[in-house]
Each structure stands twice: as C-alpha cells, then as structure tokens.
Amino acid sequence: MLTYAGTISKLYMYSIQIKYKNMVTKMYSVLLIINILRDNPQMIMLNWLKMMVNTIFMKYSPSGCAAAILNMRISETLCNSVNMNYNKTISNNPSNAHKPTNDAELGHYLAGLMDGDGHLSKMGQLVMAYDEKDKSAAYWLKKMMGYGSVSKIKDKKGYKYVLAKSDGIMRVIDLVNGKLRTEIKYNQVLYLLNNNNLISQYSKPFTMNTSTDFNNFWLTGFIDSDGSFQMKTVKHMKNGKEHTEMRLKLQMSQKYKNMLEDMKKFLIMASNSDNNSSGGIYIGTRKHMNKETKEMKITYYFETTSFSMFKKVINYMDNYPLISYKRLNYMWIRKAYLLMQSKEHMTPEGLQKMMDYKNKMKY
C-alpha cells in the first residue's frame, strides 16, 4: 500500500507539473507576442517567467529536464526577438550592444564579410583585405577565429588577414554554413568540399541562406566590408531664398541585385511599409568598363533615400554594432540624425553642427 500510495502521489505531482507547464507555456506565448510587438521592457517579464519556470519544474520534476528545455527555448527566442522594434525613437545614447561573442553570431558576421569582399581560394585560403585604419578589426577576427595571420600589404595602405590551415578552413565552413547569401562565395566553398582532400572530410550538408531575415550580424559584416555612410548636402531655392538640406544615407554595392532586393524587403517589412512601395530605399545600377578586356560590367547599389528609413538602419546598427572604423562614421551620422529628430538642424547652429559632423566623416 505504501508503494501504491507513493505512486499515486508521484502521478498527482506529475499531473500538477503538466498543468503548470501548459499554463506557463500559454503565458510565455502571450508575453513573447507582447515582446515582439513592443520592445525591451518585456525582457523583465520574460526573465520573471524564466524564474517561475525554474521554481515550478525544478520542484516537481526530479531531473529538471522540462525546465531546462523550456528555458533554453526562451533564451533562444529572446536572442531573436529582443530589440526588434525598428520604429522606436532613437535615444541619445546607443544601447550597450556587444560584438559577436559566440559562433552563431560570429558565423553571420563572417558570412557578411565574405559575401562583401572576402575570397576563398581554390588552394584553400581565406583572404580578407582591410583598410589600414582597420588593423584592430583584422586582429579581432584572428582572435575570434583562433587561426590565421595578419600582415601589412606591400606598397598599399592596408592589411590582410589570411587563414590557410585546413583546421581553420574547416572552422570557417562550419561557421558560415547556412549563412552565406551570394552564389559566388557559396560556390567557392562547394569547390573546396568537392576537390580538397583535407576539406572533403567535412560531413555536414552545406547550404546557402535564402531568407529575407537579416536579424543577425550578417548585415553588419557586409557593411564593414562593402558599405558606407554618407551625409549629402542638397541646396535648393524656397521662397526666393537658398536653403540647405542634409540627407543621411547608407549605401552598399553588389554584383547580385536579388540580395539587395532581399535587404530592401527586410527593412520595408521592419518599417511596416507597403511591400510594393519603394519604402525609402533605391536600388540603382552602375556600369564599369574593364580596362583589359573592354568588357562592360554592371553592379548594383542600395541606397536609403528617406529619413524614416534611416531610422530603421540606426535601430539595426545599435543592436548589431560595426567592428570596423566605419563605426566612427556611423556615430557621427547618428549624431546628425538626432539633430534632425529634434528639429535642431533647422537652426543655424544645428546646421553648422551637421556640417561639422559631415567633415569629420571624411577621416
């Protein structure tokens, strides 16, 4: 009878566990929706929920497995949902966002760097070129990768990061698996997997990222590699007087138009704009003549064209900060945005500050 009573007691406790699990799951779902629709204040609620989950499940579950699993899901979802409000007002001070600290974040960042201006040779070498002002960024990547070397480029104002060891290349492939977005870089990896005896030991299926979800460090890596922030001065006549207008822009160029279109869709959806409208983003073309072959080549460029769209860019960059010296230019243009947000740019003093910020971005 004692054994039977104990069994009944355990079953009763288990039923309570299931009951509480269902209740907590529903509460979590509601709070998660609120978190996505609003912003970070709900982190407090979600953290409280995690504490409650631990209390309930660790008490009624001998192993605590259910609590661990649910907490893991909450943590993963928090990583993907926090700071997702691209329409929030820009604060005077950027958030304390961090550089990539784990392999998932590093993988997206590295994929963005490679898609922008990296090269994976047929010999199995990853080569990344850096401006001389980005020496520290090159060494940061070397540290995060755990492989490679940084050296000065002869007769040029720049540095290069080179990774050649097979173990290091295997790490690169593993990091960017499912994260590269350009066919040329994807094909460079496939060539190594199919033709390099050491690299061919990699057993996982290698895939591209074809989604329009850029809520990760990929765009940060791409901008560090191939993007620029610009403040443009436009003068026009109004009521017989000359007026100066400042325009804030993020510009990126790429051989593949579809990838730029994906970025456009992402930012338009993030701003709740009509998906068929321009959404404050322009994608144009440039023609280049190859001096040797005389062949005409076309590249595409992505450019923000509205104040409201640049707001989305700032909300992204505040959450996924740049690593390169371009972050300094970003901070100056962010200051300019704050002047425009407060209408201070409409005063002579504010306009002069804008011009000062623009001049500082040249260096």
Tens digits of per-residue pLDDT, 194-245? 988 878 778 899 999 999 999 999 999 999 999 999 999 888 777 888 777 8
Residue 271: what pLDDT?
Answer: 60
Six-digit token string for 301: 């460029």
Q: pLDDT digits over 150-184, tens only?
A: 999 998 999 999 999 999 999 999 999 999 999 99
- Report how many helices (DSSP H) and strands (DSSP E) the chain contains, helices first: 12, 8
Mean pLDDT value of segment 305-318? 93
250 near 310, Cβ under 8 Å? Answer: yes
Where is pLDDT greater, at 270 or 131? 131
Instruction: Please give the model's pTM, rounded to 2 decimal places.
Output: 0.75
How far apart (Å, rounded) are the C-alpha atoms in residues 110 and 358? 29
Residues in CB range of 57: below 8 A, 6 or more apart: 17, 20, 21, 64, 66, 67, 70
In the structure, what pLDDT confidence band is assigned to residue 23 with cuts at 50, 70 and 90? low
Phi-psi region of 47 (alpha: psi -120 to 50; beta: other; left: phi over 0): alpha
CA–CA distance from 200 to each of 27, 115, 186 (Å)? 47, 22, 15
- Check whether 47 has a pLDDT greater than 50: no
Residues in CB range of 298: below 8 A, 6 or more apart: 285, 286, 287, 288
Residue 313's nearest CA partner among 88, 89, 86 is: 86
Residue 22: what pLDDT?
Answer: 53
Q: pLDDT digits over 187-197, tens only?
A: 999 999 998 88
Residue 330's nearest CA partner among 251, 260, 270 is: 251
Residue with the two structure tokens 């893991």: 72
Residue 79: what pLDDT?
Answer: 43
Hey, CA dihedral for 25, 216, 204, 169, is it positive or negative? negative
How far apart (Å, rounded) are the C-alpha atoms in residues 218 and 322? 11
- Check whether 19 has a pLDDT greater than 90: no
- Check whether 62 has a pLDDT greater than 60: no
- Check whether 3 has a pLDDT greater than 70: no
- Check whether 52 has a pLDDT greater than 60: no
- Check whether 24 has a pLDDT greater than 60: no
In the structure, what pLDDT confidence band is assigned to residue 323 with cuts at 50, 70 and 90? very high
Phi-psi region of 148 (alpha: psi -120 to 50; beta: other; left: phi over 0): left
Mean pLDDT value of segment 322-334? 95
In the structure, what pLDDT confidence band is assigned to residue 246 with cuts at 50, 70 and 90? confident
Amino acid at 285: T
Residue 255: what pLDDT?
Answer: 87
The overall average pLDDT reported for the chain is 79
Largest CA distance in the chain: 100
Phi-psi region of 100 (alpha: psi -120 to 50; beta: other; left: phi over 0): beta
Q: Could you give the residue range(s) of every CATH 3.10.28.10 domain in the chain?
A: 103-201, 217-269+279-361
Taking the CA atoms of the chain, what radius of gyration do you get in angstroms?
25
- Check whether 305 has a pLDDT greater than 70: yes
- Check whether 55 has a pLDDT greater than 90: no
- Check whether 20 has a pLDDT greater than 70: no
- Residue 211 is classified by DSSP as -
Residue 201: what pLDDT?
Answer: 78
Mean pLDDT value of segment 293-297? 83
Q: pLDDT digits over 118-138, tens only?
A: 999 999 999 999 999 999 999
Can you tell me whether residue 160 is helix, strand or coil?
strand
Q: Which CATH entry fits the domain spanning 103-201: 3.50.50.60, 3.30.70.100, 3.40.47.10, 3.10.28.10?
A: 3.10.28.10
Q: Report residue 247: phi and psi, to 5°.
A: -120, 135
In the structure, what pLDDT confidence band is assigned to residue 68 with cuts at 50, 70 and 90? very low
Residue 211: what pLDDT?
Answer: 92
Task: Tell whether domain 217-269+279-361 is in CATH 3.30.450.20.
Answer: no
Residue 65: what pLDDT?
Answer: 41
- Check whether 278 has a pLDDT greater than 70: no
Six-digit token string for 256: 């593949």
Burial class (CB in 10 A: 0-12, 13-18, 19+), 342: exposed
